[in-house]
Amino acid sequence: MNFLWPQLLWTMLALPLLPLLYLWLLRRRGKAAVRLSSLRVARAAQGRTWRRHVPPALFLLALAVLLLALARPMARVALPWARSTIMLAIDASLSMRIADVEPTRMLAAQEAARTFLQELPKNIDVGIVTFAGTALVAQQATLDRPSLIGAIDAIQMQIGTAIGSAIVLCLAELFPDHGIDLGEMTFGPRRNARRLDERPKPPPKPIVPVQPGSYDAAAIILLSDGRRTTGVDTLQAAKMAADRGVRIYVVGLGTPDGHLSQGEGMAIYLQLDEPTLREVARITDGEYHHAATAESLRGVYQKLGTRLQARKRETELTALVALLGAVLVAVAAGLSVLWFGRIA
């Protein structure tokens, strides 16, 4: 636990004075009781029952808790994601038709993604980016699960694998105010005038790099079965995600030699580029998983879904601690009224 205003913890040094003040008041009350004419009243005043000390003890504890709240305590607490976003980046290159993962890589990926969406908490927004030679937003982030499933079912395979472009497009969706322009990163600055119906994009926002994986409000799940053939460099895109604190969970789909049984050409581009995919996960403080079968792919999605439901966040506990202090004050006052008919 740490504190936003730790200097206020010095106020707790006054707490030991309160028990001394309480003992002094008891002694003073005892001396006054001796001078009373009624022996019954004197005994009542000098009563040593444990009840008379409970309310003051609770009040002292409540005061300590309230002074602790003044320092604004912080702690890393596992909390459910609230209105957070997961971007699914799904490879739609032609190699996804290979059947080394039954029935095919693409059909297995679509089925696993549908299951993942059904099991994910309903308060998490999900967006879908598909990529082959280019990257496209198949569905903007939404809570509407049927729309997401429809976008997954409508995936069309094409030539090429632009993994880096898919990551950049996911970041553009997550940070619309950062002025991320995939077109300019791919082809350079535009020289022609924009279309009349095209909305002007904000200028690129200067980014102060943060700790990789520190942005808990979003994550990217990247599924690919090959290696980059076009588009933005994969590791450059991963560095952009790391600078914004976004984790990338990478799923490598297929068997290393699955393309050989299919008689496909340009075999090197149909093989998993595991070193690069692992580096993407490492740079962003994410994870890499290899899924060689449809069952293992579903297992990976299930594991990621469970992990993304709750994350440890640095959370201010001031309100909770102050509430505890208020409850203790109320209990002390209630017991005092119940046992002695007054707040003592």
As a whole-number percent, the residues of the chain with pLDDT over 70 amount to: 77
Most confident by average pLDDT, 59-63, 170-174, 195-199, 303-307: 170-174
Which two tokens mark 210?
A: 């943060």
Per DSSP, 158 falls in state B
Helix axes 17-34, 54-70, angle to 10 degrees: 150
Residue that has been written with the tokens 């991320």 in this structure: 180
What confidence tens digit (pLDDT) does each residue in 9-54 have?
A: 888 888 888 787 777 776 776 555 545 445 554 455 444 566 777 8
**What band does 263 get if pLDDT is binned at 50, 70 and 90?**
very low
**Per-domain boundaries in the chain:** 2-77+316-340, 81-182+204-292
Whether the pLDDT of residue 145 is over 90: the answer is: yes
Using CA atoms of 199, 203, 204, 206 in order, give the dihedral in degrees to the nearest 10. Answer: -140
CA 26 to centroid of chain Cα atoms: 53
Secondary structure E strands in 190-280: 218-224, 247-253
Contacting residues for 79 by C-beta, under 8 A, at least 6 apart: 310, 311, 312, 313, 315
Q: Which residue has the higher pLDDT, 68 or 90?
A: 90
Is the alpha carbon torsion for 239, 240, 243, 247 positive or negative? negative
Per residue in 179-233, pLDDT tens?
898 888 887 776 455 555 656 665 666 788 999 988 878 889 999 887 888 999 9
| pLDDT level of residue 267 (50, 70, 90 thresholds) | low
Please state, in angstroms and rounded to a whole number, the distance separating the CA atoms of residues 331 and 16. Answer: 22
The DSSP-derived string for 46-61 is T---GGGGHHHHHHHH
Please answer whether residues 182 and 172 qualify as being in contact, where contact means their C-beta atoms are separated by less than 8 angstroms. Answer: yes
* Ramachandran angles phi, psi of 36, nearest 5°: -75, 145
Task: Report which listed range, 2-6, 73-77, 295-299, 313-317, is most confident.
Answer: 2-6
CATH number of 81-182+204-292: 3.40.50.410
Average pLDDT value for residue range 231-260: 86
Place of tokens 């942005």: 215
User: How much is the CA Rg of the chain, to the nearest whole Å?
Assistant: 31
For residue 89, name the pLDDT band (cuts at 50, 70, 90): very high
| The pLDDT of residue 84 | 78
Count of C-beta atoms within a 10 Å radius of residue 197: 5
Residues 6+ apart with CB under 8 A from 234: 163, 164, 167, 228, 276, 280
Whole-angstrom distance, CA of residue 252 vs CA of residue 300: 10
Distance from C-alpha of 112 to C-alpha of 298, rounded to nearest angstrom: 5
CA-CA-CA-CA torsion sign (91, 97, 98, 102): positive
Residues in CB range of 27: below 8 A, 6 or more apart? none
Q: Is 74's pLDDT higher than 90?
A: no
Cα–Cα distance measured from residue 126 to residue 145, given in angstroms and rounded to the nearest whole number:
8
Taking the model in full, what pTM does it have? Answer: 0.65
pLDDT at residue 291 above 90? no
pLDDT of residue 29: 64
H or E segment at 167? helix 163-174
Choose the weakest-confidence range: 80-84, 248-252, 265-269: 265-269
Confidence (pLDDT) at 165: 95
pLDDT, position 47? 47
